[in-house]
Amino acid sequence: MADASKLKSLKKTLGDVPKLNEASNNTLSPEMAPSNSYNESYTRIDGRTMRRTNRTVRLATSVTPEFDRMLRKVAVEKNMLLAEVLEEALQFYCAKN
């Protein structure tokens, strides 16, 4: 008996292919996707905003208890702020690498 099962796969199940005149024009888009202009332009003003100098920014991260202990120990011993210890450590690291 003839095996016509493969003919089934020739049946168009994916529909017609797009024509050349249906080409995407995404190549006209800029390399960097435009960001959300609403979020970018909107800044909620309050008392702190008025006083903000942007000399410093907040940095929050998670560290091990050992690291935390050591960092605070150095800060106390040297009478420095935590941020100052980190700044100095980073400077030292960058100079070494």
Partner 1 sequence: MGIIIAFISQKGGVGKSTLARACARELANNQISVKVADLDIQQGTCIEWGRTRLSNDIEPSVPVAFYKTVQAALADSGNYDSLVIDGPARVSAATLEIAKTANLVIQPSGASVDDLRPAVKEFHGLVNNHIPKSKMMFILNRIGTTAEEENARSYIQEAGYEVLEGCLFEKPAYRKAQNLGYSITETKYKALNEKADILIQNLINKIVTNG
Binding site for partner 1 (CB under 8 A): 9-10, 13-15, 17-20, 22-31, 33
Q: Which is nearer to partner 1, 32 or 45 (CB)?
A: 32
For the bound state, the minimum distance from the C-beta of residue 31 to partner 1, rounded and expressed in Å, comes to 4
For the bound state, the minimum distance from the C-beta of residue 41 to partner 1, rounded and expressed in Å, comes to 21
Q: Which is nearer to partner 1, 10 or 45 (CB)?
A: 10
- Token couple for 79: 């009478």
Q: Where are the alpha helices (DSSP H) in 5-64?
A: 5-10, 37-41, 47-51
Q: Which is nearer to partner 1, 20 or 60 (CB)?
A: 20
Interatomic CA distance for residues 54 and 68, integer angstroms: 26
Q: Name the residue among 79, 76, 74 with its Cα closest to residue 89.
A: 74
For the bound state, the minimum distance from the C-beta of residue 90 to partner 1, rounded and expressed in Å, comes to 20
For residue 27, what is the DSSP state?
G
